[in-house]
């Protein structure tokens, strides 16, 4: 997993609440057996018209946010089913930071397991970000996980909270398997002491 220390990126604003995982990655794409390639299907039902052409009215299709890596949305982002594919789709599209007042619990956990940073801010601050996005072309945000600070070039500077174990994993690029392998010596000792075959 790619380590996350700090990131500065162009912002895309999705002015919608209760965005569920079936909207993030529709169910027909869950048949894929790889963990990659889901980015092209992100928000598929919103991004594309029935004939397959881009929907010019959808927020992420606006030329001004092409290449955005920071997505800001309203409350309860990632609700619905627990599909990890939703995070894979966001990551595959190029999103590195999500900002919202709240996230669904399972989705929130899945973000950390896949190298995305979900930042929870109060609704007033999120509203400020939406306003700044509307006022400034090419609006970007810097997120520093080492100091847990979020800022822009227009005077915004706020702190955010992240559980220390999740912060450690992201800073060091450690997924669940990598965290387990940090204790490989103790695991091997336990296996040897209990007559278990070594797992390679």
CA atoms of 129 and 99, how far apart (whole Å):
9
- Which H or E run includes 73? strand 70-73
**Domain map of the chain by residue range?**
6-163
- Which H or E run includes 119? strand 117-120
Fold for 6-163, please state it: Aconitase; domain 4 (3.20.19)
User: Shortest CA distance to 39 belongs to which of 25, 21, 58, 54?
Assistant: 25
Confidence at 180, pLDDT banded by 50, 70, 90 = low
CA atoms of 180 and 24, how far apart (whole Å):
30
Instruction: Give the pLDDT of residue 14.
Output: 98
| Chain Cα centroid distance, residue 140 | 16
Instruction: Give the pLDDT of residue 178.
Output: 53
* Whole-prediction pTM: 0.88
Instruction: Give the pLDDT of residue 10.
Output: 98
Instruction: Give the pLDDT of residue 186.
Output: 55
Token digits of residue 2 = 């790619």
Q: Which range has the worst mean pLDDT, 54-68, 95-109, 134-148, 173-187?
A: 173-187
What percentage of the chain exceeds 70 in pLDDT?
Answer: 87
Instruction: Give the pLDDT of residue 183.
Output: 45
Q: How far is CA 3 from CA 38, 50, 173, in A?
A: 21, 38, 4
Instruction: Give the pLDDT of residue 184.
Output: 54
Confidence at 27, pLDDT banded by 50, 70, 90 = very high
CA atoms within 13 A on the CB side of 65: 23
- Which tens digit of pLDDT belongs to each residue from 54-68? 999 999 999 999 999
Confidence at 152, pLDDT banded by 50, 70, 90 = very high
């Amino acid at each position: 997993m790619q380590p996350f220390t700090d990131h500065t990126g162009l912002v895309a604003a999705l002015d919608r609440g209760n965005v569920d995982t079936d909207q993030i990655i529709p169910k027909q794409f869950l048949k894929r057996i790889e963990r990659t390639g889901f980015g092209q299907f992100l928000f598929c039902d919103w991004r594309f018209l029935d004939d397959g052409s881009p929907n010019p009215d959808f927020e992420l299709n606006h030329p001004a946010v092409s290449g955005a890596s920071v997505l800001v949305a309203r409350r309860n982002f990632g609700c619905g089913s627990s599909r990890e594919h939703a995070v894979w789709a966001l990551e595959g599209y190029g999103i590195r930071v999500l900002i919202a007042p709240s996230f669904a619990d399972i989705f929130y956990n899945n973000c950390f397991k896949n190298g995305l940073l979900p930042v929870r801010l109060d609704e007033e601050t999120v509203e400020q970000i939406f306003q700044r996005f509307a006022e400034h072309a090419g609006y970007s945000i810097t997120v520093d996980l080492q100091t847990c600070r979020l800022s822009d070039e227009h005077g915004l500077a706020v702190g955010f909270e992240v559980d220390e174990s999740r912060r450690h994993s992201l800073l060091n690029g450690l997924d669940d398997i990598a965290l387990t392998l940090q204790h490989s010596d103790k695991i091997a000792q336990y296996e040897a002491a209990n007559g278990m075959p070594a797992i390679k």
